[in-house]
Amino acid sequence: MVGIVFALLVMGSDLNVIDADSFTFRGHYYRLYNIDAPQGGQTARCNSEIAQSQDTAAYVRARIASAGAVDVRPAFDPRGSGIWPHDRARARLARIYVDGQDLSEILIAEGRAAQMDIRTEHDWCRNSR
């Protein structure tokens, strides 16, 4: 059986970056797959986490705006159905490739996000106390 592979090649300006790990595109809400990023607003645990979230979101916006190519792909498709996987909040789980590089991997390598671990949540306030 041949699996369906699909991706959305987009202009960086078509993506609306909401925060460090979420964005909208063509009426859909997306979250970056497999990362834990600092949260802003009411879900943040401290002012440092809010600042980190804002800084990372600005970084993502700049990285996407300066990219030659932005590619949005489903995070995974275990059944080969061609359907976008969703998280518990019904956001589409996506991988974004910026000039061929996985944005999640870039954010993890730079310390702007952590690898997702369902058993523990990263403490973005740890160094601010």
pLDDT digits (tens, 9 = 90+) for 81-110: 667 788 878 888 998 899 999 999 999 999
pLDDT digits (tens, 9 = 90+) for 40-87: 888 889 999 999 999 999 999 999 989 888 888 888 766 666 677 888
Q: Which residues pair with 17 in a beta bridge?
A: 23
Q: Which fold has domain 15-128?
A: OB fold (Dihydrolipoamide Acetyltransferase, E2P) (2.40.50)
Residue 100 φ/ψ region, left for φ over 0, alpha for ψ in the -120 to 50 degree band, beta for the rest? left
- Please state the domain extents for the chain: 15-128
Q: How far are the Cα atoms of 68, 108, 115, 119 from residue 36, in angstroms, in the given order?
A: 26, 9, 6, 12
Residue 14 or 29, more confident: 29
Q: What is the dihedral of CA 25, 29, 30, 36, to 10 degrees?
A: 130
Positive/negative CA dihedral, 30, 57, 118, 109: positive
pTM beyond cutoff 0.75: yes
pLDDT of residue 6: 45
